[in-house]
A and B are shown apart, each in its own frame.
Chain A
Protein backbone atom coordinates (compact mmCIF):
# COMPACT_ATOMS: atom_id res chain seq x y z
CA UNK A 1 0.00 0.00 0.00
CA UNK A 2 2.87 2.32 0.82
CA UNK A 3 4.46 1.60 -2.54
CA UNK A 4 1.14 2.37 -4.20
CA UNK A 5 0.92 5.72 -2.40
CA UNK A 6 4.44 6.66 -3.41
CA UNK A 7 4.35 5.44 -6.98
CA UNK A 8 0.81 6.48 -7.87
CA UNK A 9 0.63 9.89 -6.25
CA UNK A 10 0.83 11.69 -9.57
CA UNK A 11 -2.07 9.63 -10.93
CA UNK A 12 -4.57 10.51 -8.22
CA UNK A 13 -5.89 13.76 -9.67
CA UNK A 14 -6.04 12.58 -13.31
CA UNK A 15 -7.97 9.51 -12.17
CA UNK A 16 -10.46 11.70 -10.32
CA UNK A 17 -10.87 13.90 -13.39
CA UNK A 18 -11.35 10.84 -15.57
CA UNK A 19 -14.05 9.54 -13.25
CA UNK A 20 -15.73 12.95 -13.33
CA UNK A 21 -15.67 12.91 -17.12
CA UNK A 22 -13.51 15.98 -17.54
CA UNK A 23 -10.04 14.68 -18.27
CA UNK A 24 -8.67 16.00 -21.56
CA UNK A 25 -8.74 13.39 -24.29
CA UNK A 26 -5.01 13.70 -24.85
CA UNK A 27 -4.32 12.53 -21.30
CA UNK A 28 -6.97 9.85 -21.12
CA UNK A 29 -5.03 7.13 -22.96
CA UNK A 30 -2.04 7.50 -20.65
CA UNK A 31 -4.22 7.27 -17.52
CA UNK A 32 -6.03 4.23 -18.82
CA UNK A 33 -2.70 2.54 -19.54
CA UNK A 34 -1.73 3.10 -15.92
CA UNK A 35 -5.09 1.76 -14.70
CA UNK A 36 -4.58 -1.38 -16.74
CA UNK A 37 -1.35 -2.07 -14.88
CA UNK A 38 -2.20 -0.91 -11.36
CA UNK A 39 -4.86 -2.79 -9.42
CA UNK A 40 -5.04 -0.28 -6.56
CA UNK A 41 -5.64 2.68 -8.88
CA UNK A 42 -8.11 0.65 -10.92
CA UNK A 43 -10.10 -0.10 -7.76
CA UNK A 44 -10.04 3.55 -6.76
CA UNK A 45 -11.19 4.54 -10.21
CA UNK A 46 -14.09 2.11 -10.00
CA UNK A 47 -15.19 3.64 -6.71
CA UNK A 48 -14.90 7.17 -8.00
CA UNK A 49 -16.84 6.37 -11.16
CA UNK A 50 -19.66 4.86 -9.09
CA UNK A 51 -19.58 7.86 -6.79
CA UNK A 52 -19.81 10.32 -9.68
CA UNK A 53 -22.73 8.42 -11.14
CA UNK A 54 -24.46 8.53 -7.78
CA UNK A 55 -23.92 12.27 -7.43
CA UNK A 56 -25.17 12.87 -10.96
CA UNK A 57 -28.31 10.84 -10.29
CA UNK A 58 -28.86 12.60 -7.04
CA UNK A 59 -28.98 16.08 -8.45
CA UNK A 60 -32.09 17.81 -7.25
CA UNK A 61 -34.91 18.54 -9.58
CA UNK A 62 -34.87 22.07 -10.82
CA UNK A 63 -38.14 21.92 -12.72
CA UNK A 64 -40.00 23.98 -10.15
CA UNK A 65 -37.33 26.64 -9.98
CA UNK A 66 -36.84 26.76 -13.74
CA UNK A 67 -40.56 27.18 -14.23
CA UNK A 68 -40.61 29.92 -11.65
CA UNK A 69 -37.76 31.70 -13.41
CA UNK A 70 -39.53 31.46 -16.75
CA UNK A 71 -42.74 32.79 -15.24
CA UNK A 72 -40.94 35.65 -13.61
CA UNK A 73 -39.19 36.44 -16.85
CA UNK A 74 -42.43 36.44 -18.82
CA UNK A 75 -43.84 38.86 -16.30
CA UNK A 76 -40.81 41.09 -16.36
CA UNK A 77 -40.03 41.02 -20.07
CA UNK A 78 -42.41 43.83 -20.90
CA UNK A 79 -40.82 46.12 -18.34
CA UNK A 80 -37.21 45.55 -19.31
CA UNK A 81 -35.78 47.11 -22.40
CA UNK A 82 -32.46 46.17 -23.90
CA UNK A 83 -29.80 48.83 -23.68
CA UNK A 84 -28.90 50.62 -26.83
CA UNK A 85 -25.53 49.73 -28.24
CA UNK A 86 -22.77 51.96 -27.01
CA UNK A 87 -21.92 54.69 -29.50
CA UNK A 88 -18.25 55.17 -30.05
CA UNK A 89 -18.57 57.95 -32.65
CA UNK A 90 -18.32 60.81 -30.20
CA UNK A 91 -15.14 59.58 -28.60
CA UNK A 92 -13.76 58.88 -32.07
CA UNK A 93 -14.48 62.45 -33.13
CA UNK A 94 -12.79 63.80 -30.04
CA UNK A 95 -9.72 61.68 -30.67
CA UNK A 96 -9.52 62.67 -34.32
CA UNK A 97 -9.92 66.37 -33.48
CA UNK A 98 -7.21 66.18 -30.86
CA UNK A 99 -4.85 64.39 -33.19
CA UNK A 100 -5.47 66.96 -35.94
CA UNK A 101 -4.87 69.90 -33.58
CA UNK A 102 -1.66 68.33 -32.30
CA UNK A 103 -0.46 67.76 -35.87
CA UNK A 104 -1.13 71.37 -36.84
CA UNK A 105 0.70 72.63 -33.78
CA UNK A 106 3.74 70.49 -34.50
CA UNK A 107 3.76 71.58 -38.15
CA UNK A 108 3.54 75.27 -37.18
CA UNK A 109 6.43 74.95 -34.74
CA UNK A 110 8.48 73.16 -37.35
CA UNK A 111 7.87 75.87 -39.95
CA UNK A 112 8.77 78.65 -37.53
CA UNK A 113 12.08 77.12 -36.58
CA UNK A 114 13.05 75.78 -39.97
CA UNK A 115 15.48 78.06 -42.01
CA UNK A 116 17.01 75.83 -44.63
CA UNK A 117 20.54 76.93 -45.61
CA UNK A 118 20.63 79.87 -43.22
CA UNK A 119 22.63 80.05 -40.06
CA UNK A 120 21.07 81.64 -37.02
CA UNK A 121 21.57 85.44 -36.79
CA UNK A 122 24.73 86.50 -34.91
CA UNK A 123 25.21 89.93 -33.44
CA UNK A 124 28.73 91.05 -34.11
CA UNK A 125 30.19 92.94 -31.26
CA UNK A 126 31.72 96.20 -32.47
CA UNK A 127 34.82 96.11 -30.29
CA UNK A 128 35.97 93.01 -32.11
CA UNK A 129 35.91 95.00 -35.31
CA UNK A 130 37.75 97.82 -33.63
CA UNK A 131 40.83 95.74 -32.99
CA UNK A 132 40.59 93.75 -29.79
CA UNK A 133 38.53 92.56 -26.89
CA UNK A 134 37.45 94.98 -24.24
CA UNK A 135 36.33 94.51 -20.72
CA UNK A 136 32.66 94.51 -19.91
CA UNK A 137 32.77 97.99 -18.42
CA UNK A 138 34.13 99.45 -21.65
CA UNK A 139 31.65 97.86 -23.94
CA UNK A 140 29.85 100.27 -26.20
CA UNK A 141 26.36 99.85 -27.54
CA UNK A 142 26.04 96.80 -29.72
CA UNK A 143 24.86 98.73 -32.73
CA UNK A 144 27.34 101.41 -33.73
CA UNK A 145 26.16 104.74 -34.97
CA UNK A 146 26.92 106.02 -38.45
CA UNK A 147 30.64 106.53 -39.18
CA UNK A 148 31.76 110.04 -38.43
CA UNK A 149 34.81 111.90 -39.82
CA UNK A 150 37.74 112.20 -37.43
CA UNK A 151 40.31 115.03 -37.46
CA UNK A 152 43.41 112.95 -36.80
CA UNK A 153 44.93 110.19 -38.79
CA UNK A 154 44.09 107.34 -38.54
CA UNK A 155 40.65 108.73 -37.97
CA UNK A 156 37.82 107.97 -40.31
CA UNK A 157 38.16 111.51 -41.67
CA UNK A 158 35.59 113.19 -39.36
CA UNK A 159 35.76 115.12 -36.12
CA UNK A 160 35.90 112.16 -33.73
CA UNK A 161 39.13 110.16 -33.16
CA UNK A 162 38.96 106.42 -33.69
CA UNK A 163 40.01 103.84 -31.20
CA UNK A 164 43.19 103.43 -33.26
CA UNK A 165 43.91 107.10 -32.77
CA UNK A 166 43.62 106.68 -29.01
CA UNK A 167 45.93 103.68 -29.12
CA UNK A 168 48.54 105.56 -31.15
CA UNK A 169 48.34 108.51 -28.80
CA UNK A 170 48.80 106.22 -25.81
CA UNK A 171 51.80 104.59 -27.46
CA UNK A 172 53.29 107.98 -28.15
CA UNK A 173 52.95 109.38 -24.66
CA UNK A 174 50.56 109.72 -21.78
CA UNK A 175 50.30 113.43 -22.36
CA UNK A 176 49.18 112.96 -25.95
CA UNK A 177 46.56 110.51 -24.81
CA UNK A 178 45.30 112.87 -22.11
CA UNK A 179 45.18 115.71 -24.59
CA UNK A 180 43.15 113.64 -26.99
CA UNK A 181 40.74 112.71 -24.23
CA UNK A 182 40.37 116.32 -23.16
CA UNK A 183 39.66 117.38 -26.70
CA UNK A 184 37.11 114.78 -27.57
CA UNK A 185 35.89 113.39 -24.31
CA UNK A 186 35.36 109.67 -23.97
CA UNK A 187 33.14 109.32 -26.95
CA UNK A 188 34.74 106.88 -29.30
CA UNK A 189 33.36 106.19 -32.67
CA UNK A 190 33.87 102.68 -33.82
CA UNK A 191 34.80 101.96 -37.36
CA UNK A 192 32.64 99.70 -39.42
CA UNK A 193 33.59 96.05 -39.20
CA UNK A 194 36.27 95.26 -41.73
CA UNK A 195 38.19 92.04 -41.20
CA UNK A 196 40.88 92.99 -43.75
CA UNK A 197 41.71 96.23 -42.06
CA UNK A 198 41.78 94.45 -38.71
CA UNK A 199 44.30 91.95 -40.04
CA UNK A 200 46.42 94.70 -41.53
CA UNK A 201 46.49 96.56 -38.24
CA UNK A 202 47.29 93.47 -36.22
CA UNK A 203 49.97 92.20 -38.59
CA UNK A 204 51.35 95.20 -40.46
Chain B
Protein backbone atom coordinates (compact mmCIF):
# COMPACT_ATOMS: atom_id res chain seq x y z
CA UNK B 1 0.00 0.00 0.00
CA UNK B 2 1.69 3.17 1.14
CA UNK B 3 5.32 2.29 0.80
CA UNK B 4 7.65 4.86 2.26
CA UNK B 5 10.89 3.49 0.89
CA UNK B 6 12.17 6.44 -1.03
CA UNK B 7 14.84 5.94 -3.61
CA UNK B 8 17.96 7.91 -2.81
CA UNK B 9 17.91 10.01 -5.92
CA UNK B 10 14.41 11.25 -5.31
CA UNK B 11 15.64 12.45 -1.93
CA UNK B 12 17.33 15.30 -3.73
CA UNK B 13 15.20 18.40 -3.94
CA UNK B 14 16.82 20.22 -6.76
CA UNK B 15 17.40 18.26 -9.88
CA UNK B 16 21.04 17.78 -10.65
CA UNK B 17 21.17 18.02 -14.39
CA UNK B 18 24.83 17.20 -14.76
CA UNK B 19 24.86 13.82 -13.06
CA UNK B 20 23.38 10.43 -13.70
CA UNK B 21 22.52 8.53 -16.79
CA UNK B 22 18.94 8.79 -17.98
CA UNK B 23 16.84 5.81 -17.12
CA UNK B 24 15.75 3.99 -20.22
CA UNK B 25 12.22 3.24 -19.18
CA UNK B 26 9.64 5.98 -18.69
CA UNK B 27 7.57 3.86 -16.36
CA UNK B 28 8.15 3.38 -12.69
CA UNK B 29 8.53 0.15 -10.79
CA UNK B 30 6.27 1.34 -7.98
CA UNK B 31 2.64 0.22 -7.91
CA UNK B 32 0.33 2.62 -9.70
CA UNK B 33 -2.10 4.41 -7.43
CA UNK B 34 -4.13 5.80 -10.28
CA UNK B 35 -4.23 4.66 -13.87
CA UNK B 36 -5.73 6.56 -16.78
CA UNK B 37 -6.53 4.62 -19.94
CA UNK B 38 -7.50 6.35 -23.17
CA UNK B 39 -9.09 9.29 -21.43
CA UNK B 40 -10.97 11.72 -23.69
CA UNK B 41 -12.50 14.80 -22.15
CA UNK B 42 -15.02 17.17 -23.69
CA UNK B 43 -16.61 20.50 -22.98
CA UNK B 44 -19.74 20.25 -25.05
CA UNK B 45 -18.40 19.44 -28.49
CA UNK B 46 -14.89 20.74 -27.87
CA UNK B 47 -12.45 17.98 -27.15
CA UNK B 48 -9.99 18.96 -24.42
CA UNK B 49 -8.16 15.65 -24.01
CA UNK B 50 -7.32 13.02 -26.62
CA UNK B 51 -6.74 9.48 -25.50
CA UNK B 52 -4.50 10.17 -22.54
CA UNK B 53 -3.04 7.11 -20.82
CA UNK B 54 -0.68 7.37 -17.87
CA UNK B 55 -0.01 6.06 -14.40
CA UNK B 56 0.38 7.92 -11.16
CA UNK B 57 2.77 5.97 -8.95
CA UNK B 58 1.95 5.57 -5.28
CA UNK B 59 3.79 7.90 -2.92
CA UNK B 60 5.34 9.77 -5.75
CA UNK B 61 4.88 13.24 -7.13
CA UNK B 62 3.76 13.47 -10.73
CA UNK B 63 4.18 16.87 -12.34
CA UNK B 64 2.06 17.72 -15.36
CA UNK B 65 3.51 20.45 -17.55
CA UNK B 66 2.55 22.01 -20.84
CA UNK B 67 1.50 25.30 -22.38
CA UNK B 68 -1.81 26.98 -21.48
CA UNK B 69 -4.84 25.20 -22.87
CA UNK B 70 -3.04 21.89 -23.31
CA UNK B 71 -5.55 20.08 -21.12
CA UNK B 72 -3.38 19.50 -18.09
CA UNK B 73 -5.86 21.00 -15.63
CA UNK B 74 -8.70 19.18 -17.35
CA UNK B 75 -6.84 15.91 -16.95
CA UNK B 76 -6.28 16.58 -13.26
CA UNK B 77 -9.96 17.32 -12.83
CA UNK B 78 -10.86 14.07 -14.55
CA UNK B 79 -9.03 12.18 -11.81
CA UNK B 80 -11.52 13.18 -9.10
CA UNK B 81 -14.52 13.78 -11.33
CA UNK B 82 -14.44 17.56 -10.86
CA UNK B 83 -14.49 17.77 -14.63
CA UNK B 84 -18.16 16.88 -14.63
CA UNK B 85 -18.89 19.58 -12.06
CA UNK B 86 -17.84 22.16 -14.63
CA UNK B 87 -20.24 20.58 -17.11
CA UNK B 88 -17.72 18.48 -19.00
CA UNK B 89 -17.94 14.88 -20.08
CA UNK B 90 -15.31 12.16 -20.08
CA UNK B 91 -14.67 8.93 -21.93
CA UNK B 92 -12.18 6.22 -21.17
CA UNK B 93 -11.15 4.66 -17.89
CA UNK B 94 -9.59 6.02 -14.75
CA UNK B 95 -8.70 3.51 -12.06
CA UNK B 96 -8.05 4.19 -8.39
CA UNK B 97 -6.39 1.14 -6.80
CA UNK B 98 -7.68 -0.86 -9.73
CA UNK B 99 -11.30 0.26 -9.35
CA UNK B 100 -12.96 2.47 -11.95
CA UNK B 101 -13.70 5.91 -10.52
CA UNK B 102 -17.03 5.90 -12.30
CA UNK B 103 -18.03 2.97 -10.06
CA UNK B 104 -17.13 4.96 -6.97
CA UNK B 105 -19.66 7.49 -5.70
CA UNK B 106 -18.33 10.96 -6.63
CA UNK B 107 -18.50 12.20 -3.04
CA UNK B 108 -16.60 9.17 -1.72
CA UNK B 109 -14.09 9.44 -4.56
CA UNK B 110 -13.32 13.05 -3.70
CA UNK B 111 -12.71 12.12 -0.07
CA UNK B 112 -10.03 9.74 -1.34
CA UNK B 113 -8.73 11.99 -4.10
CA UNK B 114 -8.51 15.53 -2.72
CA UNK B 115 -7.81 18.68 -4.67
CA UNK B 116 -6.04 21.98 -4.08
CA UNK B 117 -6.87 24.79 -6.47
CA UNK B 118 -4.89 27.49 -8.21
CA UNK B 119 -6.37 30.35 -6.25
CA UNK B 120 -6.50 29.93 -2.48
CA UNK B 121 -10.18 29.52 -1.66
CA UNK B 122 -10.77 29.21 2.07
CA UNK B 123 -14.47 29.31 2.95
CA UNK B 124 -15.04 33.02 3.62
CA UNK B 125 -17.66 32.61 6.34
CA UNK B 126 -15.55 30.24 8.42
CA UNK B 127 -12.68 30.54 10.87
CA UNK B 128 -9.30 28.91 10.27
CA UNK B 129 -10.32 26.06 12.54
CA UNK B 130 -13.69 25.60 10.86
CA UNK B 131 -12.11 25.62 7.43
CA UNK B 132 -9.91 22.66 8.29
CA UNK B 133 -12.70 20.92 10.18
CA UNK B 134 -15.29 21.48 7.43
CA UNK B 135 -14.73 18.22 5.56
CA UNK B 136 -15.17 16.15 8.71
CA UNK B 137 -17.86 18.25 10.31
CA UNK B 138 -20.12 18.24 7.26
CA UNK B 139 -19.76 14.50 7.11
CA UNK B 140 -21.13 13.96 10.56
CA UNK B 141 -18.11 14.22 12.87
CA UNK B 142 -18.91 16.58 15.73
CA UNK B 143 -16.65 15.35 18.51
CA UNK B 144 -14.75 18.52 19.30
CA UNK B 145 -11.74 16.70 20.74
CA UNK B 146 -11.36 14.63 17.58
CA UNK B 147 -11.81 17.68 15.37
CA UNK B 148 -9.24 19.66 17.36
CA UNK B 149 -6.75 16.82 16.99
CA UNK B 150 -7.29 16.55 13.26
CA UNK B 151 -7.09 20.32 12.79
CA UNK B 152 -3.79 20.48 14.64
CA UNK B 153 -2.32 17.49 12.82
CA UNK B 154 -3.31 18.83 9.40
CA UNK B 155 -2.14 22.37 10.10
CA UNK B 156 1.18 20.92 11.25
CA UNK B 157 1.40 18.80 8.11
CA UNK B 158 0.69 21.90 6.06
CA UNK B 159 3.45 23.75 7.96
CA UNK B 160 0.97 26.38 9.08
CA UNK B 161 0.35 25.44 12.72
CA UNK B 162 3.02 27.64 14.28
CA UNK B 163 1.79 30.67 12.38
CA UNK B 164 -1.90 30.34 13.21
CA UNK B 165 -2.13 28.34 16.43
CA UNK B 166 -3.05 31.45 18.43
CA UNK B 167 -5.61 32.70 15.95
CA UNK B 168 -7.61 29.61 14.99
CA UNK B 169 -10.81 31.57 15.55
CA UNK B 170 -9.92 34.23 13.04
CA UNK B 171 -11.34 34.30 9.54
CA UNK B 172 -9.72 32.04 6.99
CA UNK B 173 -9.55 35.10 4.76
CA UNK B 174 -7.59 37.16 7.28
CA UNK B 175 -4.24 35.46 6.64
CA UNK B 176 -1.86 36.01 3.73
CA UNK B 177 -2.30 34.36 0.33
CA UNK B 178 0.47 31.85 0.95
CA UNK B 179 -0.98 30.97 4.33
CA UNK B 180 -4.43 30.66 2.78
CA UNK B 181 -3.10 28.16 0.28
CA UNK B 182 -1.48 26.11 3.03
CA UNK B 183 -4.80 26.34 4.89
CA UNK B 184 -6.49 24.89 1.82
CA UNK B 185 -3.94 22.09 1.76
CA UNK B 186 -4.63 21.39 5.44
CA UNK B 187 -8.35 21.40 4.67
CA UNK B 188 -7.78 18.83 1.95
CA UNK B 189 -5.65 16.64 4.20
CA UNK B 190 -8.27 16.69 6.95
CA UNK B 191 -10.49 14.17 5.20
CA UNK B 192 -7.48 11.85 4.98
CA UNK B 193 -7.24 11.45 1.22
CA UNK B 194 -4.99 8.95 -0.50
CA UNK B 195 -4.23 11.13 -3.49
CA UNK B 196 -3.81 14.91 -3.50
CA UNK B 197 -4.27 16.74 -6.79
CA UNK B 198 -2.83 20.24 -7.03
CA UNK B 199 -3.78 22.59 -9.81
CA UNK B 200 -1.00 25.18 -10.03
CA UNK B 201 -1.03 25.57 -6.24
CA UNK B 202 1.71 28.20 -6.15
CA UNK B 203 1.00 30.25 -9.23
CA UNK B 204 -0.77 32.98 -7.28
CA UNK B 205 1.91 33.16 -4.59
CA UNK B 206 5.15 35.03 -3.98
CA UNK B 207 8.49 33.17 -4.21
CA UNK B 208 8.81 32.64 -0.47
CA UNK B 209 5.35 31.12 -0.15
CA UNK B 210 6.03 29.09 -3.26
CA UNK B 211 9.16 27.64 -1.66
CA UNK B 212 7.14 26.68 1.40
CA UNK B 213 4.49 24.95 -0.70
CA UNK B 214 7.16 23.07 -2.64
CA UNK B 215 8.84 21.93 0.55
CA UNK B 216 5.45 20.82 1.76
CA UNK B 217 4.75 18.81 -1.37
CA UNK B 218 8.06 17.08 -0.93
CA UNK B 219 7.18 16.09 2.62
CA UNK B 220 3.64 15.05 1.83
CA UNK B 221 4.60 12.34 -0.61
CA UNK B 222 5.65 10.09 2.26
CA UNK B 223 1.98 9.69 3.07
CA UNK B 224 0.16 10.72 -0.06
CA UNK B 225 0.28 10.26 -3.79
CA UNK B 226 0.49 13.63 -5.46
CA UNK B 227 -0.23 14.95 -8.94
CA UNK B 228 0.60 18.59 -9.54
CA UNK B 229 -0.12 20.77 -12.54
CA UNK B 230 2.39 23.55 -12.96
CA UNK B 231 3.40 26.23 -15.41
CA UNK B 232 6.72 26.55 -13.74
CA UNK B 233 9.25 24.09 -15.10
CA UNK B 234 11.78 24.69 -12.36
CA UNK B 235 9.04 23.82 -9.94
CA UNK B 236 8.28 20.60 -11.76
CA UNK B 237 11.97 19.74 -11.71
CA UNK B 238 12.27 20.54 -8.01
CA UNK B 239 9.27 18.72 -6.60
CA UNK B 240 8.41 15.83 -8.86
CA UNK B 241 9.61 12.29 -9.39
CA UNK B 242 7.78 11.85 -12.68
CA UNK B 243 6.88 14.45 -15.27
CA UNK B 244 4.23 14.31 -17.95
CA UNK B 245 4.22 16.74 -20.86
CA UNK B 246 0.88 17.62 -22.41
CA UNK B 247 0.37 19.46 -25.67
CA UNK B 248 -2.90 20.24 -27.45
CA UNK B 249 -4.86 17.79 -25.36
CA UNK B 250 -2.47 14.93 -25.84
CA UNK B 251 0.09 13.33 -23.61
CA UNK B 252 3.33 13.73 -25.52
CA UNK B 253 5.66 12.12 -23.08
CA UNK B 254 5.90 10.86 -19.51
CA UNK B 255 8.96 9.73 -17.64
CA UNK B 256 11.22 10.27 -14.71
CA UNK B 257 11.59 13.96 -14.13
CA UNK B 258 15.35 13.88 -14.45
CA UNK B 259 15.17 12.18 -17.82
CA UNK B 260 12.42 14.43 -19.16
CA UNK B 261 14.47 17.49 -18.28
CA UNK B 262 17.75 16.14 -19.63
CA UNK B 263 17.08 13.80 -22.51
CA UNK B 264 13.46 13.85 -23.52
CA UNK B 265 12.44 11.42 -26.24
CA UNK B 266 10.25 13.80 -28.16
CA UNK B 267 11.28 16.91 -29.98
CA UNK B 268 8.21 18.84 -28.74
CA UNK B 269 9.10 18.15 -25.12
CA UNK B 270 12.62 19.37 -25.65
CA UNK B 271 11.43 22.51 -27.40
CA UNK B 272 9.04 23.26 -24.58
CA UNK B 273 11.41 22.75 -21.69
CA UNK B 274 14.17 24.67 -23.38
CA UNK B 275 11.80 27.55 -24.08
CA UNK B 276 11.97 27.28 -27.85
CA UNK B 277 8.32 26.55 -28.04
CA UNK B 278 6.27 28.60 -30.48
**Chain B associates with chain A:** no
Q: Which residues of A contact B (CB under 8 A)?
A: none
Which B residues fall within an 8 A CB radius of A?
A: none
